[in-house]
A and B are shown apart, each in its own frame.
Chain A
């Protein structure tokens, strides 16, 4: 579904909606471009003039701090103008439809929408209805996909580990509701890792998860055994209401990442988390702040990956005027 929508006939990324459907070479190109952009942060002037005069609109229908601010920084470092619209508190509460909001923003000569929405498929919907000169980036839609998060995770893994093919990657936590996990699984398999494991209680796993190409584990000690990368997922508060999980405390006892649980992983294994972390729920402080943790590097890499995706999508629309 998203392939025809996000990649044009010349193979350019017109929209970035989902990792699924993209080829390995396209994922590598995103990471290579991000590699070039990461050096910009070391300069005295942390900015390149590439997207001067372009306007990026952060269209966030759902709260977010990290994703929104790193998209904002990425756009600013590319010299684009950025507009932050917290849509949940503005037009839509006044009864304006999503399409009317889009038309109004297009009338203001927006060149790109970065969309975060609680409903799966929202960014695809926006991409389908946006004007031809407008690129759309999915900043997280429901339980479906979060492709820039997955790519910054891949970029972090590549920077530390180099090659993907020998790696065993374990993803721990709420797979069922996680758009991050879904995108990560697609990206890891496309990049050809040796194995992807998911570790979760049965209640937090989608049915037939194996069809995505993962090994299922319910025991964290077994799941992280000989793993090179361990990704912990955020446990959303609303999932802790007792229907799917007995309690936070019990979750931490069974699935929380600690130095003890990590003992069976490879000696040089890294620990990742998309943030924000719940200390004492998904992992303990010793692990979150320990030498294996690359959690803050993930945040830094998020800017370079978003610079890469914004500029690639913008480039696919070159030659199309706003008129």
Chain B
């Protein structure tokens, strides 16, 4: 793979990886939940490709972020939608880029306010390193080591495209 940010190729790898992982880990009838917005776009694609029968769930973790006292409310918060009962079910949580792990921490907290799932697996398109919490993905499209000031932005939903962006602090959009 020549272009490390070829979204379509990464999505293929993630699809293959997740298919194998679900078979090997014996997690029957999993439900899929994407994190708003990039994670939800990736999840839509995976959901279709893997032929999940139940609808896709979407989480907006704005009310669970750990930086409210520093930066306040995020504009354009969307309602979270989990159109199913998660109690006792296996979940696949999907995000676009895994960075600090803070988004995943928030997403896990939010999920558990809907019930007690049997398990939660994490699938991400890109693991870019820089973790600040003990969180690891179960399935990834690829791994990239990026300097702290370098970020990756996913645009979509159709087509999905990845690009490098530089941000001052990167604090506005921690992954």
Contact = CB atoms under 8 A, between A and B. Distances in A.
**A pairs with B:** yes
Interface residues of B, number: 24
Interface residues of A, number: 24
Interface string A38-79: 111001110111110000000000000000000000000000
Contact of B79 (A39, A47, A318): A39
Contacts of B113: 43-45, 47-48
Given A33-B77, A39-B79, A49 B72 contact: no
Contacts of A176: none
Interface stretch (A96-104, A139-147, A250-258, A309-317): A309-317
Contacts of A316: 72
A29 B77 CA distance: 10
Contacts of B148: none
A132 to B, nearest CB: 15
Nearest to A315: B72
Contacts of B112: 45
Contacts of B150: none
A88 interface: no
A35 interface: yes
A33 B64 contact: no
Contacts, number: 55
B80 interface: yes
Nearest to B73: A315
Given A36-B62, A39-B79, A44 B70 contact: no
Interface in B79-102: 79-81, 87
Contacts of B73: 33, 311-312, 315
Interface of B: 60, 62-64, 68-73, 75-81, 87, 109-110, 112-115
